[in-house]
Amino acid sequence: MESSCPAMFRHPVAIEPADIDHMGHVNNSVYLKWVQDAVVDYWQSVAPPDAVARHLWVALKHEISYRKPTFLQDTVVAEVIADKVEGARAYFTTVVRRGQEVLSEVKSCWCCLDAVTQRPARLARDVVSRFLPPTA
């Protein structure tokens, strides 16, 4: 089975004045929103429309390593890579960058849900192949 998955998905990040904390840079909690937006955008860009309509994603775990502060005037991109899928769970790495500078690295685990029942749901192989390279 041939995969048409992108090696990496780039999601532009919009920094809002409300994202800035009392120290003058983006509050750490905002990174979670960026990761959520980036992973969902990635899913919606690679999955067929019927799969997007039938499935929802909920984050189970985020491990964030903050490297450098982010400021209101920065141009930032979140780069998403799908690492693996196991059953109804998918694992992603998201790197937030300002140019070549790494601002944060996030490892996250997500659960795929059936949109109607909101119970865990496995994705069909052909859907998984759209965002994960085939295993050797």
**Alpha helical stretches, state H, 47-108:** 49-54
3: pLDDT confidence band, cut at 50, 70 and 90?
very low
| CA 31 – CA 27 distance, rounded (Å) | 8
Structural domains in the chain, CATH included, are: 9-128 (3.10.129.10)
DSSP reduced 3-state for 135: coil
Q: What tens digit of pLDDT does each residue of 33-89 get?
A: 999 999 999 999 999 999 999 999 999 999 999 999 999 999 999 999 999 999 999
pLDDT value at position 135? 55
| CA 67 – CA 51 distance, rounded (Å) | 35
To which residue do tokens 């502060």 refer? Answer: 69
For residue 132, how many other CB atoms are within 10 A of its CB? 20
* pTM assigned to the model: 0.89
In terms of Cα–Cα distance, which of 42, 15, 3 is closest to 103?
A: 15
| Percent of the chain whose predicted confidence (pLDDT) is above 70 | 92
* pLDDT at residue 129 tops 60: yes
pLDDT value at position 77? 98
